[in-house]
């Protein structure tokens, strides 16, 4: 949505933003491949153990909470509802008198 709005402002700004986003994604995938699937160069890193069941359970709970917040954000946005309405009323009042 930001890039579409940037196209309305200036095509070349939007082109630079979209290009940098694509180059950033490509670099991230390249880096991920090297870090995750590359050889372990440090013997201290090779000696590290994988996560245990307790750590996996905690990460699972955090992942479920994150997905829940993304799929059903109303309880989190409802907390801000009153203050956002007050802010909108305050902004809508003209400062010129």
> What per-residue confidence (pLDDT) applies to 39?
83
11 alpha carbon, distance to own chain's centre: 25
32-77 pLDDT, tens digit per residue, is: 998 888 888 888 888 888 899 999 999 999 999 999 998 998 888 8
> What per-residue confidence (pLDDT) applies to 28?
96
For 6, list phi and psi in degrees, rounded to 5.
-70, -30
Percent of the chain with pLDDT over 70: 98
Task: Read off the DSSP letter of residue 61.
Answer: H
The pTM of the full predicted model, rounded to 2 decimals, is: 0.46
3-class DSSP state of 14: helix
**Mean of pLDDT values over 89-94:** 83
Taking the domains of the chain in order of start, what are their residue ranges? Answer: 1-48, 50-97
Indicate whether 96 pLDDT > 80.
no
47 alpha carbon, distance to own chain's centre: 32
Gap between the Cα atoms of 36 and 52, Å rounded = 19
């Amino acid at each position: 949505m930001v890039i579409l709005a940037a196209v309305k402002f200036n095509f070349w700004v939007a082109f630079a933003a979209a290009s940098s986003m694509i180059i950033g994604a490509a670099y991230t995938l390249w880096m991920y491949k090297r870090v995750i699937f590359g050889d372990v160069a440090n013997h201290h890193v090779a000696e590290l153990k994988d996560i245990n069941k307790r750590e996996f359970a905690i990460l699972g709970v955090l992942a479920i909470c994150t997905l829940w917040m993304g799929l059903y954000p109303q309880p989190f946005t409802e907390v801000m509802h009153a203050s956002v309405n007050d802010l909108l009323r305050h902004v809508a009042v003209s400062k010129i008198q």
